[in-house]
Structure 1
Amino acid sequence: MKKLCILLFLPLLGLYTFAQNNAVIDKEKLYDFYQTQRYAEAAQYLKTIYGEDATDFKGVTQMGYCFLMAGNYAEAEKYYVKAYKQQPQNLPILFSLASINSRRGNNDKAKTYYKEIIKIDSNNFNVYKQLANLYPIPTDSLRLLYLQKANKLNPLEGDIAYDLAESYQRLKNNSLAYKTLDVAINADSGNLILQRAKLPVANALKKYDEVIKSGEKLLKDGADGNVLKDVAMAYYYTKRYQKTIDLLKLLESLGMQNESTLYYTTLSYRQLKDYKTAGIYAKKTIDEGISPNTSNYYDLLGLIYNENNQLNLATAAYKKGLQFKANPSIYYHLGILYDFKYKDKKNALIYYGQYLKNKPDAERDAEEIKYTKARIGQLNQGD
């Protein structure tokens, strides 16, 4: 009887399996998942239809799509790879696999899939655009190559024109950068991003009147820092120094000044023979150009020389650091150097005193402060 039950169950199991493999998808249910963007649920639903180990091309591409839209890239790749094995020249499958690997940071695999697309369709604008993005350094020769190919296919596309112009600019080829941007801007005169990108290129080509005309229009849409600087430079090179000052001081009021802008403010005041203000800005330029950590770097250099018994170099490095900032740490190390290496108690006391006078951090430097006070007492008693 038991054997008979098993024999009866086997054909039923076969019928059940057949039914599962040929199950009809509830299109309304799937459509509802898509409409409400419940892609993870849609993928799980499709799994119940096609099975965990599905090989049906339509099924695996549907599941790959759903997992991709749900952000489950590992599962999406698994199903798209199955589809790829069946149709290795299917462009949508190749694009999906390339995109998935790019999102997961597997750039080498993404490049491989994109290059396979090129073999099939060498005039595919999007694949060159995506490939260029996988080479983030503007001066990379392959990035330049793919941007050039994309730009040749569609010279009016703004993103590619911008990126290609940036690469040309970094490579000091301002003429090509200008031409690339000019073509795209002529097709889309309202693209302010491209117009802003063109200003420094035009400045480099000494098209100062163009920079001023275009830049002043852009400034009506807001005080963009780069535009202010570019227009100010154009005014400077056309010897309109007060205009230069007005724009660079506006930049300063926005807290967007840097060493370069302060330098040209200084030069402009000098040209106007306002030497007092020029002097003030010259000092600002110097301060801006010096890192607040410079004295720390010289302190570190001094320690390295000291530890290597290069005492003269250590002393010079410490004192050089003090030219940039009265650094308590440097005074402490000079005190130690004169105390124990030079056996010069007089200078040791001077630097120990300067260390305490410059208020080292009471909590962080507690041990050094305690030691310094004790050592000053010992040296004074010795005298």
Structure 2
Amino acid sequence: MNTKFFLIFVSLLAVSSWAAAQSSTVSDRTLLEYYQAQKYVEAATYLKSVYKEPVSDPNALRNLAYTTQMAGKLVEAEAYYQRLFQLDTTKLSVLNSIAGINLRRGNLQKAQTYYLRIISVDSTNFYVLKQLADISSRNNDTTGYVKYLSKANAVNGDDADVASDLSNWYVNVKKYALAKAVLNKAITADPENVVLLQSLLRLVHAQSNWAETVKVGMKLLQLGDGTYPTALKLGQAYYKLKNYMCCLETLAGMEDIQQTETSFYYMALSYKALKNYPKSIVYFERAITEGISPAIPTYYGEMAGSYQEHKRFKKAVYSYEKGLQFEERPLLLYSLATLYDSDLKDKAKAVRYYKRYLGTNPPAVQQVYVDYTRSRISALGSRL
């Protein structure tokens, strides 16, 4: 028998203690089979068939609450837990379950209310402090977030997640000494924790401590962390230390999908420092391309269309041309041609842009525009 399920079964059911209090008896074997197979919906249905309402026995209610919660029937589960709480308002575990259910349902305010009731009695409950910090974060309540994280960290300074989150916040507000103190304690307890080392890397990088950035970055790589933030910080540190080849090796080692404007920029800077100007230019160009949104031509085209509708034709021409500087899209050329043709009555420029439009080999879905363009070139050409 799976030990985990056996313990759950024994601790949650406590069959021997409540069977006599009920009019019917639950089959231990049947319920255990449901639990082991994680068939919680069936288990809940089975329990309801045995426990006849009104159910008042705490153990029966507890089992119904747990099973319906595991079955995803959160409204029913909360109702059972509420009935349990009415029987004994000192049960913090029941309040915790109700809060957790509301958190799962996205009812942050209700969850927070229940967690606060627990904290008012048990002010050092680490789990609840973490949950309150999470709720504060989701509510964009920075004051509450830092308050509860700090309290949780004071209760358990070894917890990696809390230490990481708290130190990251300290780094964001440039309170580096506090960030270091939080990380020192947690890392002492778990020196190879990747989450903590990532936060330490963030700290030393923010402090421009390049030698330490390399040291921590290399340790992370050895632990298997080749993520973009780690590789980029390590590459930047190598560049700042004038170790250009290591910078290039680190950044070039990232997968293509990870490369960004910043990684290309530092590779370009490194090639430039090594006087490899052709490659430097290539990577500066890649940085520029990566830094420009592919939607910019669309934005300029839409803006030009608005100017055109507003009869501000010079502004429209300028916007179309700006869009074309980023990418020579067929519809931008077509729109500019029709602007010169219909609104500005500049036949020569209209023909020029109509021809440029055709030169892009427009897709089949633009055949109507292609046909119109050819007819206009023919008509306008005879008048030039």
| Cα-to-partner distance string for 1:186-236 (whole Å, 9 max, x where unaligned) | 110121221123212211112222222232233234444332222211111
Question: Taking structure 1 as reference, are residues 255 and 26 closer, same or farther at Cα in structure 2, changes over 3 Å only?
Answer: closer
- Tell me what 2:238 maps to: 235
Relative to the length of structure 1, the TM-score reads 0.87
Aligned equivalent of 1:331: 333
8 Å Cα contact 2:171-2:206 kept in structure 1 = no
Provide the rounded CA distance (Å) in 2 between the counterparts of 1:138 and 1:276.
Answer: 47
How many angstroms apart in 1 are the aligned matches of 2:218 and 2:206? Answer: 18
Does residue 1:350 correspond to 2:328, yes or no? Answer: no
Larger Rg computed on CA atoms? 1
* Distance in 1, Cα, partners of 2:377 & 2:96: 74
Which structure 2 residues correspond to residues 300-319 of structure 1 after superposition, within 5 A?
300-319=302-321
1:348 positional shift: 0.9
Query: 1:41/1:275 Cα in 2 relative to 1: closer, same or farther (>3 Å)?
Result: closer
For residue 295 of structure 1, report the CA deviation from its aligned partner: 1.0
Offset at residue 343 of structure 1 (A): 0.9
Query: 1:40-73: CA deviations, max 9, x gaps?
Result: 3333333234324434433222211111122222
Which residue is equivalent to 1:8? none
Contact 1:138 1:167 survives alignment (8 Å)? no
Matched residue, 2:82? 81
Instruction: Tell me if structure 2 keeps the 8 A contact 1:84–1:90.
Output: yes
Q: 1:93 to 1:322 in 2, by over 3 A?
A: same
How many angstroms does 1:22 deviate by?
Answer: 4.0
Q: Which moved more, 1:187-196 or 1:39-48?
A: 39-48
**Percent pairwise identity:** 37
CA distance in 1, matches of 2:62, 2:96: 13
- Alpha-carbon distance in structure 2 between the residues aligned to 1:163 and 1:40: 37
Corresponding residue for residue 104 of structure 2: 103
Q: Verify the 8 A CA contact 2:337 2:354 in the aligned structure 1.
A: yes
Match of 1:263 among 262, 265, 276: 265
Structure 2 match to 1:71: 72
1:249 aligns with 2:252: yes
Contact kept? 1:50, 1:56, Cα under 8 Å: no
For 1:166, the equivalent position in structure 2 comes to: 168
Contact 1:111 1:131 in 2 (8 A): yes
Map 1:212-227 onto structure 2 (within 5 A): 212-222=214-224, 223-227=226-230
> Do the aligned residues in 1 keep the contact of 2:25 with 2:50 (CA within 8 Å)?
yes
Question: CA distance change for structure 1 residues 73 and 311 in 2, over 3 Å: closer, same or farther?
Answer: same
Question: Secondary structure at 1:25's aligned position in 2?
Answer: coil
Per the normalisation by structure 2, the TM-score is 0.87
Question: Following the alignment from structure 1 to structure 2, what is the Cα–Cα distance between the partners of residues 22 and 248?
Answer: 68
CA contact (8 A) 1:64 1:76 kept: yes
CA distance in 2, matches of 1:376, 1:195: 65
Query: Does the CA-based 8 Å contact 1:155-1:161 persist in structure 2?
Result: yes
Residue 286 (structure 1) shift? 1.0
Q: Does 1:126 align with 2:127?
A: yes
Structure 2 gap ranges (5+):
1-18
Distance 1:20 1:339 in 2: 93
CA separation in 1, counterparts of 2:322 and 2:313?
14
2:342 and 2:190 mapped to 1: Cα distance? 72
8 Å contact 1:305–1:313 — kept in the other structure? yes
- The whole-number CA distance in structure 1 between the counterparts of 2:347 and 2:195 is 65
**What residue identity is the alignment partner of 1:25?**
T
Residue 141 of structure 1 and its aligned partner are, at CA, apart by 2.9
| CA deviations over 1:162-190 (Å, ceiling 9, x no partner) | 22223233334344333322221111012
Distance 1:173 1:314, change over 3 A: farther
Instruction: Give the secondary-structure state (helix, strand or coil) at the position aligned to 1:323.
Output: helix
Contact preservation (8 Å) 1:137, 1:143: no
Structure 2 SS opposite 1:163: helix
Rounded Cα–Cα distance in structure 2 between residues aligned with 1:340 and 1:283: 37
Going from structure 1 to structure 2, the CA distance change for 1:85 and 1:319 (only over 3 Å counts) comes to same
Tell me what 1:51 maps to: 52
Task: Tell me the distance in 1 between the aligned counterparts of 2:150 and 2:308.
Answer: 54
SS in 1 for 2:275: coil
Distance (whole Å) between structure 2 residues aligned to residue 105 and residue 283 of structure 1: 46
Change (3 A) 1:353 1:89: farther
1:13-58 per-position Cα deviation (integer Å, ceiling 9, x unaligned): xxxxxx9974253363444544444433333333234324434433
- Superposed CA deviations along residues 125-146 of structure 1, whole A, max 9, x for unmatched, are 1001112222247883322222
- Counterpart CA distance in 1 for 2:141 and 2:251 is 30
Match of 1:112 in 2: 113
